[in-house]
Amino acid sequence: MNPESQNLTRAREIVGALLSVVQKAAIGSSVADDNQVVAYDLASISAGVAAAAELVRHGDHGSGGDDLALVFAADVAADLRGRITGREALWGTDFHALDDVEAAIAAGRDPAMLEQVASRVAATMEAGSRNISEDLELVRRTFRQFAEERVTPIAERVHREDADIPEHIVAGLSEMGCFGLSIPVEYGGFAEGGADELLTMVLVTEELSRSSLGVAGSLITRPEIIGTAIARGGTEEQKRRWLPQIATGAKLCGVAVTEPDHGSDVAGIRTNAARDGDEWVLSGVKTWCTFAGRANYLLVLARTDPDRSSGHRGLSLFVVEKPSFDGHSWRVTQNGGGSIEGRAISTLGYRGMHSFEVTIDRWRVSAQDLIGEDDGIGRGFYLQMQAFANARLQTAARAVGVMQAALEAAVDYTGQRSVFGRPLAEYQLTRAKIARMAAFVAACRTFAFSAARAVASNGGQLEAAQVKQLACRAAEWVAREAQQLHGGYGYAEEFAISRLFVDARVLSIFEGADEVLALKVIARQIGA
């Protein structure tokens, strides 16, 4: 075994010191509610530290992983110092908590180190090695080829025109088994269990998102959510009725959970489901229902207990079948007067899938369309939260794809553009930016792989929340830095970086808003 490099040793020392600070500062849920500022900062730092630890764990696999681990760990340390300054007592520490690793931090923040990393990134367009098996690498390359040949050529048009995703994209991904990646093989999918079960989904999502978040990268999310809910809570008959249809892409999916007055506060939703013999009658308004027009199956979270004081215990999940519609508005009716109507919400980015406000008025579904049937009454919130772990993991992979695309765009543009008689890529500040961008890509990607293994082992709720929070914030920053390096052209729709920037902005909002994940999930779990 080769001895560990000096830079990896330094990174390991920084991570150890950071872990010590986080562990001492960990607070319980009651303190988190009373001291949200520190709780948010603690949760955010804990995500960075967890990612740094994973990057250190894999940093000795070559391709500059040791340098990237050091750069990222030093960056997290600098972030921590900024957050605790003036609040040392609230953190239960002092400004000197990291003094013992000061030399290691200085090495990771040395401009010469950043220039060294940037040179390697410029030569390869990659942020280190992925450290995956040959089989997984083949899958990754297959989907990258699909994305570059079919998605990239239409990404800008779909974005600028707010057009529908072309049918050939959906059909092509269906043929490749994209919608059945996490559905068990016995129900027509490709999931066979094992620690790496979700890695394929993560890799495929990144490659599709690298070409376009709105055209391809997000197509897997809704099948992930609805498929997980059915697999975990559905009856055997429901699994055999719904899952094969989802896995093959014969039935496209949408999710109707969020409401105009209840976003992350899912337990407060008002959409009502009233029992009427062998049927349930649904009424309410849902919002931000992405892909709801094209979807054949809508996963609807509704209140089956009319007593609102029951909170999340009164919610159940329904699979509502509807026709597929193109465009920005649609309406479907039932005999007897029931209707579902959708209106697309105009957005600054993340176009192609369209996010709808959906009005459900006295829509009747069979009692067999409630996931779990009678045994599923009141279990909707729990099934939804379990499904969100997969969705958060998948969203982190989407963020990594956007980051990778932004990094490549920055390297390509700065290599061609000259400023004051020199290529932009030769300036130290440019190189420092590119090195830090690459470190964030590497850390988030490695953490996503680790979280995927944790979730596949029926755990990983904390890790999925952490990597989602970290990667989505990082994607916005990386896209912003890449856009800045483009100068005025970064603000022009002629260059793809403008699309990447506005697409990245949504990532910290959906599938668990940044602040909610930090306060309600991460801070409470690390406090526990």
**Catalytic (active-site) positions:** 511
Determine the longest span between alpha carbons in the chain, in angstroms: 79
Cβ atoms 398, 344 nearer than 8 A: no
Q: Which residues of 69-107 are buried (b: 16+ CB within 10 A; e: fewer)?
A: bbbbbbbbbebbeebbeeeeebbebeeebbeebeebbeb
Instruction: State residue 514 phi and psi, 5-degree precision.
Output: -50, -50
Sign of the alpha-carbon dihedral angle for 123, 128, 132, 137: negative
Euclidean distance between CA atoms 53 and 129, whole angstroms? 16
* Residue 259 exposed, middle or buried by CB count within 10 Å (0-12, 13-18, 19+): buried
Q: Give 297's strand partners.
A: 253, 321
**Which residues make Cβ contacts (< 8 Å) with residue 420, sequence separation at least 6?**
none
For residue 218, give the nearest of 254, 168, 175 by alpha carbon.
254
Rounded CA-CA distance 162/159 in Å is 5
Asked whether the beta carbons of 219 and 166 are under 8 A apart, the reply is: no
Q: In terms of C-beta density within 10 A (0-12 exposed, 13-18 middle, 19 or more buried), how is residue 378 classed? A: middle
Tokens of 316: 């159940």
CA distance 263 to 284: 14
CA distance to 242, 274, 391, per residue, from 238 (Å)? 6, 21, 21
Q: Give the β-pairing of 297-303 and 315-321.
A: antiparallel
Task: Give the DSSP per-residue string, 260-297.
Answer: TTBSS-GGG---EEEEETTEEEEEEEEEEEETTTT-SE
Would you call 421 exposed, middle or buried from its count of C-beta atoms within 10 A (0-12, 13-18, 19+)?
A: exposed
Provide φ and ψ at 317, rounded to 5°.
-110, 135
